[in-house]
């Protein structure tokens, strides 16, 4: 049973790793090569996020990074040879920390867009 749980962790670690290769590349191009001066100011971020596809891509990036990081931390801690009870504690801990991280990222995206201009109004109807 333990190997089955571990294999799911490795599966999702691999999936998010592959996604990160794509999403980090897109993020770097969009934010550091296309943006004038290599970085966007607040108004440019609002304009950039006016496209719903961009919002979904950035949120997918957030979720992928968080899942990949939490599974990595879980794996490192499991390599310490923890008891099954501590493995459960670690698993619940990374789920809570990861969930809070994603919720904060979603809230921050919403807060930025709420201060933006009319192109993001579709989010608040």
pLDDT at 65 > cutoff 90: yes
Predicted TM-score of the model (pTM): 0.81
CA distance 105 to 29: 21
Confidence of residue 39 (pLDDT cuts 50, 70, 90): confident
Q: What domains can you pick out in the chain, each with its CATH number?
A: 2-119 (1.20.1300.10)
Burial of 8 (0-12, 13-18, 19+ CB in 10 A): exposed
What mean pLDDT is reported for the chain?
86
The closest of 51, 22, 35, 37 to 119, measured between CA atoms, is: 51
Confidence of residue 1 (pLDDT cuts 50, 70, 90): very low
């Amino acid at each position: 049973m333990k190997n089955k749980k571990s294999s799911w962790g490795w599966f999702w670690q691999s999936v998010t790793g592959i996604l990160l290769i794509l999403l980090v590349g897109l993020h770097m191009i969009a934010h550091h090569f296309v943006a004038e001066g290599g970085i966007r100011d607040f108004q440019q971020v609002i304009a950039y996020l006016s496209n719903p596809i961009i919002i979904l891509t950035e949120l997918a990036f957030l979720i992928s990074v968080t899942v990949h990081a939490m599974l990595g931390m879980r794996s490192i801690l499991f390599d310490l040879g923890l008891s099954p009870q501590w493995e459960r504690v670690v698993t619940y801990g990374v789920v809570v920390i990861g969930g809070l991280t994603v919720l904060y990222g979603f809230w921050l995206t919403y807060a930025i867009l709420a201060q933006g201009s009319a192109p993001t109004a579709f989010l608040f109807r």
